[in-house]
Structure 1
Amino acid sequence: MASKSSSTSKALERSLSRRVDRQWLSRGLPMAAPWGLAVVLILLIALVHDLWGGDALVTPLVALFMSALGVVVTGYTWIAAGNRPHLRLMATISSALVTLALVVGLIVGFGPMWQVYAMVAFTWCVCWDIRHVMKWANEEKVAAANGLARLGEVVEAEKFSWRKIKATGKGIVKAEVIATAPDATIGEVQDMRERMETAAHLPVGAVTVKRDPGNAARGLVEVMVDDLLAVPVPWPGPHRVGALISDPIPVGIYNHGEAVEVYVTGRTEDVDLEHLLAMGVSGAGKSFFARVLVAGMLVRKKVTVWAIDCKGLQTFGCLAHGLDWLITDYKEARKALHVMANVITVRTNKLAEEGLDRWSKKSSLNFLVVWIEEAADLFASKNAYDEFVRKARSAGIMVVSSLQRATHDNLSTDARANHGSGMCFGVRETADAEFALPSEVVDAGASPSWRASKPGYAYLAGLGTDPDDWARPLRTYLAGKAELAAAVTAAVGVRTPLDETTVLSAGVPYANRTVYDAPIGVETPDPAPRTVATVPPAPAPVVTADPAAERPASPTLRMHAVRTPGGEDEFAVDDGTGDETEMFTDPEDVDLMSMQAEHEISDARRDLEEALAEAENEHLADVDPAERAELRGIGIDTPLPRSEDMELSFGEEETELTPEQAHAVIDRQLHEWIRTGRTTFGVKDLGDLLEALGKSRRWFYHHRDDLMEQGVLAEGAEYGTYDILRSPLEPTDPVAA
C-alpha cells in the first residue's frame, strides 16, 4: 500500500506536469510557429511551381497576380500593426519575403533557390523567436499598463497619477500612485481596491496599496497578474541542521517566489522575541504550518518545544519523539499553564544571576517555545493564560497561540495585544484578519477571506520578516508526516537537553509527563508511551499522636535530571538543604470556596437560633417575662459565671500547635500525596487531619491562599478541587538547592 507521503508526491508531480504543459502551450507554440511556417512555405512553393511554372503564357500572369496580392497583404499588415514599431517592421518584412519567395519559386522552382531560402528563413525565424522572448519579458508590464489604465479611471485620474510601472518577471507588477489633488489621499485608493480588481478582471486580493511612510501623497501599488502559489511547493527538507535557534527557519514562499524565513528569537543580535498568534478557519492550513516550523526548531540547538493540543496527537504526533513535553489532556494542560508562573519566575532569576536582561544564546538556559493549539480551549484559565503571555518574553519563552478566531471570548484582548507577531490563514471575512494582523496591513490589501479554499495561503506580520512583505500573500511548504518525522529522528544528537533550572521549576506536572520514543501516525508501530515520574523519597514523617510532641524536621527534597545507561533522561529526588524559592501564581479573582464556607457557617448559626427559640417557647412558657428577657440575652458566646466553689477538671491540658506547626502538618500531607502519585484533592480529603489539628476549613483556606501564591497549588478542573503543582518541601531552583 502506497504511503500517504508518496501519494502526495505523485499529486505534486501531476500538478507540476499540468503546469508545465500549460507553459509549453502558451510559450512553446509561438516559438515554433515561424519554423513551421517556413516548412509549409517550401511545400507551397513546390505546389505553385508544379501547377503554373514553366508555361510561357501562364507563369508571367500568375506571378503578376501573386505580386499584387503580396502588396495588398503587406500594406494591410503595416496598417494593422498600429503604433508598435517592432511588430510593424517584423510583420511587414515577413509578408514581403513570403511574397518574394512564392514569385521566385513559381518561376524557377525550389531546387535552385533552397540554399538562399534556408539562410534567409533561418535568420528570420530566429529574429521572430527573439521578439517573442522580449515580449514575454515585457508582457506583464504591457498587460498591467492596460489594466492600470482602467484602474486609473476607477481611481479618478484627475486626482491621481500612475508612475514607474515595473514588471518583476515573477507575476508581480509594481507602480507608484501619486495624489495630485490637494484633497486626495492614498487612503481613498486603498478603499477602492475591490473596484480596481473588478475593473482589471483580477482575483480578489490581487491589488495591494501601501502608504509610503516618508511621503503621505505617495502610495506603492502591487498587482498580482499571475499566482505563483497555485501549485504547492514541497518542503525542501531541514534547514541548517545543528545551527542555533537564532538562525532563520524557512517555512514557505511568497507570491514573488522568494522564501519566507522566520526568526523565532528576533532578527537582531540582541534577542527580542515576539509571541505569535496564528489564526484561521478549520482546514486553512494551520497544522501544516505548525509541523513545518516546529520540525525546523527540533533540528536546532539550545531550543526546547512544549506543545499543548487537547484535540489529541493528530497535529504533533509525527513530531512527538522530538517534543520535550506533549500535552493532549485538558487537565494536564491546566496544570502546565499554572506551573508556568513558577517557570517564569525561576528562569528570570537565573537570567538576572547571569547578568542578562533577556534571554541570549550566551545563557545556560534553553530557548523555550510553548505552542498551544486551539488556545480557546484554555479560556477557562484566562487569568493564568494572560499572565503567562504577559511575562513569558522576559524569561526567554516564546508563546504560539493557534486558534480559529481570536475574538475576546476566545482570547482576551490583553493576551492578544501581547502577541507581537500575527499569521492569518483563511478566515470567513476580511474583518476577522484584524484580530491577528496590524490594521495597516489589512488596509494595504491583506484580505484572507478565502476561508479553507486555499490551504496553506496566509499573511505573516512579524517574526523578523520584512515589513514590505507583510501585505504579501504566502504559502507554507507542503510536507509529509513521514519526512518530518525522519528529519526529527535524524537530529536526535543535535537537540540540547532541557536545562536543570527549567526542569526543577516545572515541578510535578513536568516530572510526570508522558514521553514518546518514536513518532506517531507515520505507518510505524505506535510506541508505548512511558510516563516519567520522580523516584519516591524515603517515607515522610507522619503526624504523631501527641500534638505537643516535638516533630522531626522533614527532609528538603531536590529533583534533578540523570542520564540512564541507555541514553534516556530520567529523574531522581535527593535530600538537600536550602531555602525555598518564593513563587507566584495567578490567584482567582473570587474565592468561591471561602464564600461557600461563610454561607455554611451562617446557615448553621441561623438553624441554632431557630432551635433555641423553639426550646424557649416550649420550656419557658411559665417563666416570668423579665427573667425570660434576662435569659434571652445569654448567647452562645456569653461566658459562664464561675463560682469559687466550682472546680472543673478536664485532665491534662493539651498544648495547642502554633500556626507554623499546623502549616507544616498540611505541607507534609501534600508531600505524601505527591510521593504516592496523587496530584489532585478536595478539602473534604483533609477533614480528618483538620479535625485532629483542631482547625476549621476556613483556617485551611487561608493557608491554601499562601500555597497558591507560592505556586504549590492551583484551582482544579472541578469545583472545590485543587491541583498539586509541586511539593511544598522541595526547592524549585537549583541555585537555592
Structure 2
Amino acid sequence: MTSKDVEQRHEDQLKGSSDGGGIKGYLLHRAKPYLPPWLGVGAVGTTSTIGHLVWAEDVGMGIGLTLGSVTLTVATWWAAKTTGRERRIHSAITVAAASAWTTHAVAFGPTPVPFVVGGVVIALSWNIRQTMRRDPDGARSAASDGGLMEKIGLAKAKMGQAKVEANRVTVPIALEPGKQTNDDMAKALGNVASALDVPATAIRYLPDPDSARRGELIIVPMDMLADTVRWEEVGPSLPGGSITDPLVLGVYDDGQPLMLWLPGDPEQQRNATHLLIAGMTGAGKGDGALNLMTEILSRRDVIFWLSDPKGFQDFRPLLPAMDWAVDGNGTETMVEAVVPAIQARTAWLGGHNYRQWCAEAAETQTDPAHSCRKDRTPCGCPGLPFHVTWFEEAGVSLGLLGDDAFNSIANLARSAGMAIVISLQRASHDQISTTTRDALGGRLCFGVPNATAAGFMLPDAVIDAGAAPERWSNRRPGYCYLVAPGIDDARSSSPGRTRWFTPSAISLMETVADWNARHGAKVDFITAGAAAMAVGKAYTERARHQEENPEPNEDDEETAVSRLDDEDLDIDPREELPQPGPGEENVVFGQPDGADLSREEARTVLQEIVAEFEANGTMVIGVKEVMEHGDRLGRKRGWVSGELQQLLDGGRLAITSKPGRYRIVPAMADA
C-alpha cells in the first residue's frame, strides 16, 4: 500500500460515521499495531498457569524449562545479529524475562502482582518502540541505522542527526578520538556503499577542514542521471544574459543544476578561472564541450576564438557566432595573437580602474569611477567584452607547439578578462605541462580509463571524498565531475551529467549562432588592434563564416560578370596559343634557380618568401617552412637559420614561446 493509499484511507476514516460503531471501529483499527505485545503477555500468563497445574511437582520439567529459557534467550540474541543494536538488546531482554517468568510460574505458581507489573512494562516498551518507529516525513534512510559504522569497521564512530533533502542525505560523522581519522572514513566509502546497497559513486565523504576526525557523509540513494536529457529539449539556460551569470551544463545526481562560472566576482569572493576538459574516447567530452560552448555563445557580453584541428567537425553550426576560428595550422598564430591581446586588455582595465573584469567593463564607460581621464570625468570609452579562447583537441596542438606552449597565456589571461579553455583526451604530463595544468584552475573531467588518469584531472581531496570517474570509463557518456571556483567542496565530488546533442539539435545551434551574430558582442578595438599588430592579415583578413550562398540558378552563366579585362574580351579560350615569335623562344615562367643567386639576391628572395607567408596568413614560421622554398634560395639550412636570426635582430621577426619558431611582424605594424 502506497503512502497515498494510506492517506486516503485515513481521510475516509475521519469522514466516516461518528456513531458508536464508527468510533469503535476507528479505535480498534488504530489499536491493532499495538496489540501483539499485550497478546504475548496474555499468552505467557495463560501458558504458565496451565503449566503450573500440570507440572507443578515435576522436577524434571523445571530443569527442562530452565535450560530452554537459556537456550531461547541465546537463540534470540543470535537471530537478531542482523538488526540494530537497540532492537537486539530489547528482544533478548524480553525473551529472557518471559521465559524466566514462565519457568518460575510453572514451578511455584503465578504471582499476580509481579506478572501484571512486569507484563505491562514489557508490553508498553514495545508499544513505545512501535510508536517511535513511525516516520511520517518519509525521511528515514539506511544511513540512520546505528549498526552501519560497525558494519564498515568503524564501530566506535558516532553518527549525528541526518539532514534529509530531496534524494540527498547528509549525516555528520564523529570518528573515535585518537584512533580514527578522516582518512579511515574515506577508505571505508566502498564498504558504506556495500552496506547500503547503492552505487559506489552515490557515497561521498566531506572532511571538516578544522578537524581530523569529523566530517559529513553524503548519500544519494537514487541516480537521477540515468535518464538522458537532450540539449534541444531545454536549450541555453539564459539567452541574452551576461557571462557573469552561471553557465548551466547539465544536472548533478541529486537533480540540482551543474553550473560553472568563468569570470570572477569579488563580492562572492570567487576568482576568475580557466578550464581544462578531459575524457577518453566515447565518454561524452564532445557533447560536454557543446553544452559549454552554446552557453557562452548565448550571452551578450563575450567574444569567442576557437582553434580546432578537426576542422570544426562538431562546432560548424556555431561558427557564425565566433570572432575568429582556425584549424590546426593556425593554432600557433592564434597563441601568438593572444599574448599581446592580454597585455593590451590588462592595460585598458588598469587604465579604467578595474582590478579585474566585471560586467560593467563590457558597457560604455560612463561612470567617473572608471574613467581613463586624469580629471575622472566620464570618458565614454567603448566597453571591453569578456574573451574566451578555446583550444579543442589541444593534445594535437601541444604536440606541435610543445607541452608548455600555453604557460604564458594561462598565467596572465585571468587578469585580462580572458578565459582559456583547453580540451584534450588525457591531461598527462607528456601532453600538457604541470605548470599549465595547475594554472588552469577549473576541471571538467569525464570518464577516464584508470585512476592514474583521474589523478591528472582531479585534486587529491576530491578523489579522497569519493570522486572516481574511472568507474564509468566510457560506459556512461556525459557523466562528469566539475571542479572550479564558486563550486562547493561537496559538489566537486558529486557526479553530474551534461546534456546530449543529437542531429535534431543542429537547427537550434544555428539559431544560437544567428542570434549571437546579430545581437552578441562585437570584438573591441583593444583586442582587435593587438591581434592585428601581432599577426597582421592572419587576423584582419580572418575567415568570416557567413551563411552559404544559395544554389546558383540556371541563368547564372548568362548573367555572370566577366573577370576579363576589356581588351581580352574577344579572346576565344578554345583557340590554340600562337607560336612564339623571333627572340621569344627562351622566355621561362616561374621562379629563378637559386643556385645562381648572389648572397644579396638570396636575401631578397628570403624577404619575398617571408612576405608571401604574411600575405597567406601564415604568421609563425621556422627553418622548416622556409626550406620548402629552398630551390628558390639555393642555400642550406644553416644559412637560412642565420638569416632568420638577422631578420629577428632587424625587427622583421619576433621570438615565440617555442625555440626555433618566429612570428612575422606585420609590415605595417609600425604604422
TM over 0.5: yes
> Residue in 2 aligned with 1:125?
none
> Residue in 2 aligned with 1:166?
163
> Residue in 2 aligned with 1:625?
none
Unmatched runs of 5 consecutive residues or more in structure 2: 15-30, 41-82, 87-130, 363-382, 552-598
Selected match of 2:626 from 673, 682, 697? 682
Q: Would you say 1:265 and 2:263 are equivalent positions?
A: yes
Q: Cα offset for 1:501?
A: 2.6
Q: How far, CA to CA, are the matches of 1:402 and 1:308 in structure 2? A: 10
Q: Cα offset for 1:233?
A: 3.9
For the 8 Å contact 1:292–1:484, the answer to whether it is kept is: no
Q: Would you say 1:477 and 2:502 are equivalent positions?
A: no
Q: How far, CA to CA, are the matches of 1:426 and 1:36 in structure 2? A: 52
Which amino acid is the alignment partner of residue 173 of structure 2?
V
Secondary structure, aligned partner of 1:288: helix
Q: How far, CA to CA, are the matches of 1:27 and 1:410 in structure 2? A: 55
Q: Would you say 1:368 and 2:368 are equivalent positions?
A: no
Q: How far, CA to CA, are the matches of 1:183 and 1:72 in structure 2? A: 47
Q: Would you say 1:188 and 2:126 are equivalent positions?
A: no
Which amino acid is the alignment partner of residue 682 of structure 1?
V
Q: How far, CA to CA, are the matches of 1:700 and 1:72 in structure 2? A: 101
Q: Cα offset for 1:376?
A: 0.9
- How far does the alpha carbon of each residue in 1:618-651 deviate from its partner, in whole angstroms, 9 at most, with x for none? xxxxxxxxxxxxxxxxxxxxxxxxxxxxxxxxxx
Which amino acid is the alignment partner of residue 500 of structure 1?
F
Q: How far, CA to CA, are the matches of 2:307 and 2:187 in structure 1? A: 40
For the 8 Å contact 1:342–1:711, the answer to whether it is kept is: no
Q: Would you say 1:503 and 2:534 are equivalent positions?
A: no
> Residue in 1 aligned with 2:314?
315
Q: Cα offset for 1:347?
A: 3.3
For the 8 Å contact 1:289–1:476, the answer to whether it is kept is: yes
Q: Cα offset for 1:441?
A: 1.0
Q: Cα offset for 1:688?
A: 6.6
> Residue in 2 aligned with 1:729?
667
> Residue in 1 aligned with 2:445?
424
For the 8 Å contact 1:253–1:474, the answer to whether it is kept is: yes
For the 8 Å contact 2:301–2:520, the answer to whether it is kept is: yes
> Residue in 2 aligned with 1:150?
148
Q: How far, CA to CA, are the matches of 2:136 and 2:291 in structure 1? A: 35
How many residues align? The count is 486
Q: Cα offset for 1:293?
A: 1.7
Which amino acid is the alignment partner of residue 253 of structure 1?
V
For the 8 Å contact 1:303–1:496, the answer to whether it is kept is: yes
TM-score (norm 2): 0.63
For the 8 Å contact 2:300–2:516, the answer to whether it is kept is: no
Which amino acid is the alignment partner of residue 472 of structure 1?
S
Q: How far, CA to CA, are the matches of 2:393 and 2:615 in structure 1? A: 33
For the 8 Å contact 1:280–1:426, the answer to whether it is kept is: yes
Q: How far, CA to CA, are the matches of 2:340 and 2:604 in structure 1? A: 21
Q: How far, CA to CA, are the matches of 1:292 and 1:474 in structure 2? A: 13
> Residue in 1 aligned with 2:273?
274
Percentage identity across paired residues of the two chains:
26
For the 8 Å contact 1:171–1:225, the answer to whether it is kept is: yes
Secondary structure, aligned partner of 1:190: helix
- How far does the alpha carbon of each residue in 1:506-560 deviate from its partner, in whole angstroms, 9 at most, with x for none? 323223433322499xxx99xxxxxxxxxxxxxxxxxxxxxxxxxxxxxxxxxxx
For the 8 Å contact 1:376–1:410, the answer to whether it is kept is: yes
For the 8 Å contact 2:278–2:427, the answer to whether it is kept is: yes
Secondary structure, aligned partner of 2:173: strand
- How far does the alpha carbon of each residue in 1:119-167 deviate from its partner, in whole angstroms, 9 at most, with x for none? xxxxxxxxxxxx9xx857325x243323x63344313212x11111232
Q: Cα offset for 1:406?
A: 0.7
Secondary structure, aligned partner of 1:138: coil
> Residue in 1 aligned with 2:245?
247
| CA 1:198–1:337: 2 relative to 1, 3 Å | same
- How far does the alpha carbon of each residue in 1:214-244 deviate from its partner, in whole angstroms, 9 at most, with x for none? 2332111111111222223454333333333
Q: How far, CA to CA, are the matches of 2:657 and 2:650 in structure 1? A: 9
Which amino acid is the alignment partner of residue 524 of structure 2?
D
Q: Would you say 1:459 and 2:481 are equivalent positions?
A: yes
Q: Cα offset for 1:282?
A: 1.7
Q: How far, CA to CA, are the matches of 1:503 and 1:309 in structure 2? A: 21
Q: Cα offset for 1:189?
A: 0.6
- How far does the alpha carbon of each residue in 1:332-388 deviate from its partner, in whole angstroms, 9 at most, with x for none? 223323333333344334444445454444263322111222211112212423333
> Residue in 2 aligned with 1:513?
542
Aligned ranges 1:701-716 → 2 under 5 Å: 701-706=644-649, 711=654
Q: How far, CA to CA, are the matches of 1:73 and 1:504 in structure 2? A: 82
For the 8 Å contact 2:626–2:640, the answer to whether it is kept is: no
Aligned ranges 1:534-613 → 2 under 5 Å: none
Q: How far, CA to CA, are the matches of 1:334 and 1:283 in structure 2? A: 28
> Residue in 2 aligned with 1:229?
225
> Residue in 2 aligned with 1:203?
199
Q: Would you say 1:670 and 2:669 are equivalent positions?
A: no
Secondary structure, aligned partner of 2:293: helix
For the 8 Å contact 2:251–2:258, the answer to whether it is kept is: yes
Secondary structure, aligned partner of 2:309: coil
Q: Cα offset for 1:76?
A: 4.7
Secondary structure, aligned partner of 2:169: strand
Secondary structure, aligned partner of 1:670: helix
| CA 1:672–1:713: 2 relative to 1, 3 Å | farther
Q: Cα offset for 1:445?
A: 0.9
Selected match of 2:406 from 385, 392, 405? 385
Unmatched runs of 5 consecutive residues or more in structure 1: 1-24, 39-70, 85-130, 526-655
| CA 1:432–1:708: 2 relative to 1, 3 Å | farther
Secondary structure, aligned partner of 1:454: coil
Which amino acid is the alignment partner of residue 184 of structure 2?
E
> Residue in 2 aligned with 1:536?
none
> Residue in 1 aligned with 2:92?
none
TM-score (norm 1): 0.57
Indicate the larger mover: 253-262 or 681-690: 681-690
Q: How far, CA to CA, are the matches of 1:78 and 1:298 in structure 2? A: 71
Which amino acid is the alignment partner of residue 174 of structure 1?
T
For the 8 Å contact 2:648–2:654, the answer to whether it is kept is: no
Secondary structure, aligned partner of 2:197: coil
For the 8 Å contact 1:346–1:501, the answer to whether it is kept is: yes
| CA 1:226–1:698: 2 relative to 1, 3 Å | closer
Q: How far, CA to CA, are the matches of 1:142 and 1:204 in structure 2? A: 17
- How far does the alpha carbon of each residue in 1:680-723 deviate from its partner, in whole angstroms, 9 at most, with x for none? 651574887799xxx9546413224447995488989xxx9x77
Secondary structure, aligned partner of 1:300: coil
For the 8 Å contact 1:152–1:161, the answer to whether it is kept is: no
Q: How far, CA to CA, are the matches of 1:677 and 1:401 in structure 2? A: 24
> Residue in 2 aligned with 1:584?
none
| CA 1:136–1:248: 2 relative to 1, 3 Å | same
Q: Would you say 1:486 and 2:511 are equivalent positions?
A: yes
